[in-house]
Structure 1
Amino acid sequence: MPLLLVLQVLTAALLDRGLGDPQRWLHPVQVMGWGIARLRRLAEGWAAGRPGRLRLAGAAITLLVVGLSGAAGWLLERWADQSALGVAVLVVGLASALAGRSLEEAVNGVLALLPEADPEPARRQLGRIVGRDTDQLSREEILRALAETASENAVDGLFAPLFWMLAGAVLSPLAPVLPGPLALAWSFKAASTLDSMLGYRRGSLAWLGTAGARLDDLLVWLPCRLVAVSLPLAAGQELAGAWRGLELALRDGAPDPSPNAGVSQAAYAHAVGVQLGGSNRYGGCLRRKPLLAQGRPAADAAAVRRMLRLSLRLQALWLAAALLVAGLPPFITKALS
């Protein structure tokens, strides 16, 4: 893992934490979303409601959007090999794939409204960042929703793209044609955007969104479990606690219909010591989810803030480990010479 590539990822992480996603800047996910929306209309017109055609069209959309996103990242990486300006653009592109600051701002924005006597502003603000119905939520349910989105989206929006960046730092030096940090990060963001736009079990999307949703599940699977095993270390526990944390997250998260959401939420629930899960409404329909860290106290504002701090500490831990590994071979070579 070349040190230079890891330093670029580190710089991107610092840029994300410093700037977030400026609203006036065109974001790569906006471009992906624009393309997905237009391809969806074309696909639904061609499929005419036939499940087989919708599945085929969904697979084609997934290949096209993920492939083009990865190719765009790969081309920017080749430009960065030849130009200092290309390196700067590459780092900005990497930062665009991370959502550390934007997640913090979204969660803290709701927390800031909770001390008000009327919870309605907090409900409306929460409704912008979660998929569940929020119009009837109590303050306790708002806090649980914040804790669950802070934990689940930490994996989806921060640690999964960071993992694929670091994987690209390992792959790309092996051969010039292999994808690097940006190519893999943008490929992942494309799959994640496909899942968020098409990954619903209703109407034509029950077939059209299958390929994108399954690819997103696959790409998040390993990063999610790495978070579960390393989060206890970021919380100050010993190595034995890391394996215990993974076991608890896998046990509690197993009944969740998502292969990753329940595991990521359970990992944070046990690390912070709060109970998550329970009944939520989506489009007026009640859905019961498994209880995570059952018997622990309900999430409060302090617990939500601890989750955000844990994510920041875990990100620093991952980057420090990557820097250590990247700098180790030259150090060993020098020591032996």
Structure 2
Amino acid sequence: MTDAHSTHATGGGQARPARVPLTFVPLSTAPLELDTSIPPWPGRQVPLAGATLHVRETPGPHPDAPTAVYVHGLGGSATNWTDLANLLAGSAHGVAVDLPGFGQSEPPAGFDFALTSHAAVVADYLAGLDRGPVHLLGNSMGGAIAMLVAAERPELVRTLTLVSPAVPDLRPDLRRMADPRMPLAYLPVLGGPVRRQLASLTPRQRAEQMIRLCFADPGRVPEHRVAESAQEIAGRLGLPWAADAINRSTLGLIRAWLVPRARSLWQVAPRVSVPALVVWGDRDRLVSVRKAARTAELLPRGRLLVLPGTGHCAQMEQPVSVARAVLGMWGAVAERAW
């Protein structure tokens, strides 16, 4: 079934030789109740061979339930998945990771913050879960990382959900910045005062900037979620590695967009063999929705859901719509209909 309110395709792409239409996304009709009052899920530190990850766990319906693993985007954290993980908890045990240098995961010494390095850490974590292949979900930079994991380690992934994945999008547009003054911060003479102005922003102001950047309708964010974000930002300001992590991860993402075509993320997508759902907001300011159809078309088992009136973090802005699509995919895969 398709939902005319929430499913349509945009953008160009290669011809797709498939019997199932790209936008034929089955949407679950299961009753879903969004409770935005719940706080972030409890977290713990998990040691790996070369790193320690902080993860937040959402209990599933029973010990043998499938596992869903959530990977946040640039500047985000595991708390970006609080509501969606709750909506999916009736079907899967959820684990949201803080990538190295983000949230409460301290990066290991010598970590280079390349996309491939982040992906290697996530793959190591999945391998250590010993719960069989997982449902892997990623947003923005986390979507690019999840796609790399699915391509390189398909035995670890049962299904793949990409929410506005950070595929190459090099268009110059100041609207993609949380603060339009940021480019001025790198100029001689003028840069110093601008950097001081940016540094003087309160955690609350920074949280509001990010919400305006990532949401099509910032009014959808409950007040306590804004306060939670501000509190998390305040905590990160005291971490000696936080600023370096976001700066170097940003450079790592840009470098991944600039590599020769043979190593491009566009060449990674066709190597993903698992069922894949691509979700995009049609008012995404950070990665253009024009990339949506091409991304889904290049995934051999990919389908596309474009949500109207939605920004870059659909799992936060429209969690019920995303949950219905994810559950629909999981059901279709179980019935071998994807």
Bigger-Rg structure (1/2): 1
Judging by fraction of residues, say which structure has more helix: 1
Fold conserved (TM > 0.5)? no
Structure 1-normalised TM-score? Answer: 0.25
Structure 2-normalised TM-score? Answer: 0.25
- Higher RCO (CA-CA < 8 Å; seq separation 6+): 2
